[in-house]
Structure 1
Amino acid sequence: MAKDFARSDRVAEQMRRELADLLQFEVKDPRVGMVTVTEVEVTGDMAHAKIYYSTAEQDAKSAAELQKGLEKTAGFLRSQLSKRMLLRTVPQLHFVYDASIDNGMKLTRLINQALADSPKE
């Protein structure tokens, strides 16, 4: 009987919840504002984790500052994860901006514009 979820999937889900809590309440870096952790991918050997995030910030300068702030707090987040999770080794954290929400909003605007421009019956 095969397992429904791999261990890396379960660890990734718990990391997503813990990181969301840590980013909201524990991180004091002013560059890290409102961040939403959308997904976490953990490698099979538990050595690396990609954290996909999104934010309400739209301009490139603030997004770059946010990325720098997240990379700077990665060590703190990793140490806090080691206290909260029962893992022998905590994966190295790699932050990746998730543009899927922005792309979805662009598509919605285009669809709404196309529907507004089409002739009414």
Structure 2
Amino acid sequence: MVDVQRASKMADRIQEIVARRLEKGIKDPRIGFVTITDVKVTGDLQHASIFYTVYGTDEERADSAAALKSATGMLRTEVGKNITARLTPSLEFIPDGIPENAASIDRLLQEARQRDADSQSLAETAQYAGDADPYVKPREFGEADEADNEADRP
């Protein structure tokens, strides 16, 4: 049976433990400015997916990913010492796509703003294709209309 609340608490605790350990420092010079953004633990508490971001270039991201992969055993030991579970979950580090997604969304919003500005400028100089008021107005009854109405009567 899956206890979602327990898995959530364990995920929060793992995030805190790993972040604290990374803050203290790992003796790997490849690790850069890493931020743990989220942790997801499976329902059976056997596996933890740790999402992280790295501030820097693509090369620094790749180096940090390699450093985290090599430090997984040490970090798992640290997690095992600091949680109250019978089994220590396996750890998997996954680069988080938040910065790339945010940049993509910003780019799309900028494009939408530009298109809105373009359509607004076109609307300001636009002219009607037909009459300015294309809706039919009720006619005023005149003599010609009264003659048509009398002809229709039996």
Instruction: Report the TM-score range of the alignment, normalised by the length of the smaller protein.
Output: 0.7 to 0.9
How far the C-alpha of 1:114 sits from its partner, in A, is 4.8
Give the AA of the match of 1:44. Answer: G
The structure with the largest alpha-carbon Rg is 2
Q: Paired residues, what number?
A: 117
Deviation at 1:116, TM superposition (A): 5.6
Residues 32 and 55 of structure 2 are in contact (CA less than 8 Å); yes or no, is this contact kept in structure 1? no
Residue matched to 2:11: 12
Ranked by relative contact order (alpha carbons within 8 Å, sequence separation 6 or more), the top structure is: 1
Query: What secondary structure does 2:50 align onto?
Result: strand
Give the corresponding residue for 2:24.
25
Alignment match, 1:111 = 109
Corresponding residue for 1:52? 51
The TM-score with structure 2 as length reference comes to: 0.66
- Structure 1 regions of 5+ residues with no counterpart? none
Q: CA RMSD in A?
A: 2.1
Q: Percent identity?
A: 32
The TM-score with structure 1 as length reference comes to: 0.82
**What is the rounded CA distance, in whole Å, between the counterparts of 2:30 and 2:42 in structure 1?**
28
Aligned to 1:90: 88
Q: Is the 8 A contact 1:43 1:49 kept in 2?
A: yes
Question: 1:72, 1:35 → 2: CA distance?
Answer: 15
**1:21-68 residue CA offsets vs partner (Å, 9 max, x unmatched):** 111113221111211111111112222111011111232x32222111
